[in-house]
Structure formats: structure tokens, C-alpha cells
Amino acid sequence: MMMISSLIMITMILTTIIMSITTILSKKINEDREKASPFECGFDPKSSARMSFSLRFFLIAVIFLIFDVEIALLLPMTIIMMLSEMKSWLMISMMFLLILLTGLYHEWNQGSLEWAK
């Protein structure tokens, strides 16, 4: 029991020392205005480099990724059909498609699939 507690203490001390060393070494010493500014072909940027990101575009991209993964899950169903019992395969695939269609209907009903309003 004493050996385990001493190993835990040594581990905690080592991690604290390593974390403090990395914090000290990672600090930037000179803050240069030119290095901190965004680079735009060697000229000062005309507008702010922090442009607002379209939240609607992000939402459509996430929906696309979700449905893309679901299509990847649908493709092997034809191969599985040959290896499994038809009744159980049909029930599982219909349930999966029902969940997909319910999610699509919900997104459509909420207006998330409309690009411009």
C-alpha cells in the first residue's frame, strides 16, 4: 500500500514539473505586430480577418455528414440480406429507414434544409 501511494506521489510530482516546464518554454517572448496580424499577400488586410461564419452553412454541412454516414450504413444491407433471415432483415431495415425518414421530415419541418430565407 505504501509503495502504491509513493508511486502516485512521484507521478504527480513529475507531471507537475513537466507541465510547468512546458508552460514556461511555450510562452512567446516577443509579441510582434506584424507576426500577430493576418497575412494577405503581403498587404494589410482591407477588412477584419475575423469574418462571421454562416451558421446555416454549418448546419447544412452537419446534416450532410449525418446523412452521408447513414448512407454508408445502408449500403451493406444488401449483402447482409443474403446472409440473414428475410423477416428479421426486413424489420431491421424498415426500422432504420423509418428513423432516417423521421429525421429528414423533422429537419425539413424545422426549415433547416432551406438555404436562403
* pLDDT single digits (tens) 41-93: 665 556 665 667 777 788 888 888 888 888 888 888 888 888 888 898 899 88
Residue 111 maps to a domain? yes
The answer to the question of residue 114 being in a domain is yes
The answer to whether residue 92 sits within a structural domain is: yes
C-alpha span between 113 and 55 (Å, rounded):
13
User: Is residue 91 situated within a structural domain?
Assistant: yes
Neighbours of 107 (CB within 10 A): 16
Residue 11 located in a structural domain: no
pLDDT at 82: 84
User: In which domain, by residue range, is 112 found?
Assistant: 75-117
Read off the pLDDT band of 31 (50, 70, 90): low
Nearest-5° Cα angle at 93, 79 to 67: 90
Within-domain flag for 110: yes
What is the reported pLDDT for 81? 83
**Alpha helix locations (H) across 26-113?**
33-36, 55-74, 77-83, 86-110
Beta bridge partners of 43: 40
Instruction: Report the domain count for the chain.
Output: 1
